[in-house]
Structure 1
Amino acid sequence: MSRVFHSDSILLNQAFEDKISAIKKAGEILIDLGCIQSEYIDSMIERDEKISVYIGNGVAIPHGMAGSEKYIKASGVSFIQVPKGVSFGPDKIAYLIIGIAGVDEEHLEILAKLAITCSDMGKIEKLRTAKTKEEVLEILSDL
C-alpha cells in the first residue's frame, strides 16, 4: 500500500499545544495529499471526543466517525512525530500521531497494519527517535 503512505505524508520533530491542534495537522496533511475534504477533520475531532483516538504506547490514530466516508477522496496516512508529546488525556501522552483515511475496506486494513506495528515497542521507539523520513518509511513499509 505504498500509495497511501510516502515521504510527503511525514512530519518530524513537531510540537503542539493540545490534541486538537495535533489532530487538525494530521488532517491537513491528508488534505494536502488530496485524500480528504476539510469536513473529515471535524469528524476526526468528533471521534476523539466520543472515543479517544489514543491507542496506547504513546500513539494516537485520529480517523473519522462512521458516516464520514463521504469526505474521503482517496486512502491516505499522515505521520507526525512529536518528541515532547501532546496530551490526549490523563496519562495519555502521544509522541506519534498517525492520521488515517481509508476508502471502503482499506480503512480497516490500514488500522490493522498500524495496530500490529504499534504493539511493537521497539518499532515505536525507532519511530519516536527517527531523524529522517526514510527511517519512518522503512519501519512503516507494510503500509
Structure 2
Amino acid sequence: MRNQGGHMNALRGKLIMTSTVMGIVLVILFILSITKVIGMNWTYGYIVGSAFILVVFYLQTFKDKSLKLYSNIYLFLFFMILIHGLYLVPFIFCIYIESVFSTYGILIGVLVNSLFLNGLIFFNKYKNTRR
C-alpha cells in the first residue's frame, strides 16, 4: 500500500511538471503568434498535440496497471494498437484541416511532451532499479 502512494505522488509530480512545461511553451507560442512571427495555427496544433499526448500518457499508465493485474496479452495488444492510433490522430487532423492546425505545432506538441513524459518514466524506472 505504501508503494502505491509513492507511485501516485510520482505520477502527480510528473503531471505537474509536464503541465508547467506545456504552459510555458503555450505562452511562448501564443506570444509569437500575437507578434505575427508564426501563425495562430501553430498554437492550435500544439494544443491538439499536447492533448493527445496526455491521453496517451494516461492510457499507458492504465495499460501498465492492467497488465500487472490481469496479464492478458490481448488486452495489452488492444492498448498498444489504441495508443499508436492516438499518436496518428493529430497528424491526420493536420492533413485534412491544414488551415487550422500546423504540422510544426503538432510536432512540437507531440515530440516535446512525449519526450518529456517518457523521459521521466524512464528515469523513475532506472532510479527504482538502481536502489
TM-score by length of 2: 0.29
Is the strand fraction higher in 1 or 2? 1
Which of 1 and 2 has higher RCO (CA within 8 Å, sep 6+)? Answer: 2
Larger Rg: 2
TM-score by length of 1: 0.28
